[in-house]
Amino acid sequence: MNFRKFTLKHVTLVTLAPALVVWGVITALTYSDIRYAGYSGIAAMAVMFLTSFALRKYHASFMKKAEDKLYKECDPFPMAEELDLYLECANRRVDKTGMKIMRAMMLAFAGEYASSEDILRSVEIGDQRADLIISVQYNLATLYCLMNLRQNAVECYDRAMAEASKLPDYAKERMKFDKMTEAEVECYKGNCERAEKIAEQIDESTRLRTVMRKYTLAKIHYISGAKSKAVEEFEWVAQNGGRLACAAESAEIAKVARERAAASAAE
């Protein structure tokens, strides 16, 4: 077991051990003078706090690197590995459920669709909170959009929206849905103009979101018949999509489309 895994699994032990050592040492050194008795407890508490703070910072640095890889370089693999480690070490069931969903989507971005679907389908939602039920169905819809399984995407999306409509108003306000999935589902339902307007509202706060926005628009334009515009967008995604599966897929789509256009022109 490596150091990171050990500290994640045994965080209480790791924070208490040095505190108890400090308490014992100070107590041993000052046992003859009761005036110093309180200092050992204060020192132990300070050591425990500092150890806990240092551990959080230590683990957060790895998560930050993984997030930078994902959002700035479009590389989902480090985040998937980081979530896998936390999944192995997490204790709370809700934490594990949320992490499983997040990891499933990282695998989806990486093109490991079967593994992503297996994880989402394996989540036990029968006795979970309503928001987790909605999250599973919504992320399945996102996965099926990435897999281009249109009917599956529509069914899961509609199921998620139906469950969300049952929530009280205060809970609805906390639920956040990504416009990328909404746009694709609308397109699959035949509402391409509406889908394009929704996709154009997707924020481009990170390189990942910019790439996924362009990819969503490319699919909408391709389905709606604006193939020349779609091919240009697919080529852009291929050049800027890093290690995302949609980058390789976009390159293949653009290549086939260009070859077909060239063949038609030659006839």
pLDDT in tens, 66-91: 999 999 999 999 999 999 999 988 77
Give the span between the Cα atoms of 17 and 38, in whole angstroms.
19
Name which of 71-80, 93-102, 232-241 the model is least confident about. 93-102
pLDDT at 55: 92
Give the span between the Cα atoms of 249 and 255, in whole angstroms.
10
With a cut of 70, say whether residue 203 has pLDDT above it: yes
Give the span between the Cα atoms of 251 and 238, in whole angstroms.
5
Give the span between the Cα atoms of 15 and 51, in whole angstroms.
6
Mean pLDDT over 7-31 rounds to: 86
Mean pLDDT over 2-15 rounds to: 88
With a cut of 60, say whether residue 1 has pLDDT above it: no
With a cut of 80, say whether residue 258 has pLDDT above it: yes
Give the span between the Cα atoms of 183 and 199, in whole angstroms.
6
Give the span between the Cα atoms of 30 and 52, in whole angstroms.
26
Instruction: Report residue 126's pLDDT band, with 50, 70 and 90 as the boundaries.
Output: low
With a cut of 70, say whether residue 37 has pLDDT above it: no
* pTM for this model (two decimals): 0.87
Instruction: Report residue 127's pLDDT band, with 50, 70 and 90 as the boundaries.
Output: low
Dihedrals phi, psi of 241, to nearest 5 degrees:
-85, 5
pLDDT digits (tens, 9 = 90+) for 41-63: 888 899 999 999 999 999 999 99
Instruction: Report residue 96's pLDDT band, with 50, 70 and 90 as the boundaries.
Output: confident
pLDDT at 257: 85
pLDDT at 125: 65
CA quadruple 217, 220, 222, 224: dihedral positive or negative?
A: negative
Name which of 6-10, 34-38, 113-117, 166-170 the model is least confident about. 34-38
Mean pLDDT over 181-207 rounds to: 94
Mean pLDDT over 111-124 rounds to: 92
Three-state SS at 241: coil
pLDDT at 38: 75
With a cut of 90, say whether residue 191 has pLDDT above it: yes
Give the span between the Cα atoms of 62 and 164, in whole angstroms.
34
With a cut of 70, say whether residue 92 has pLDDT above it: no
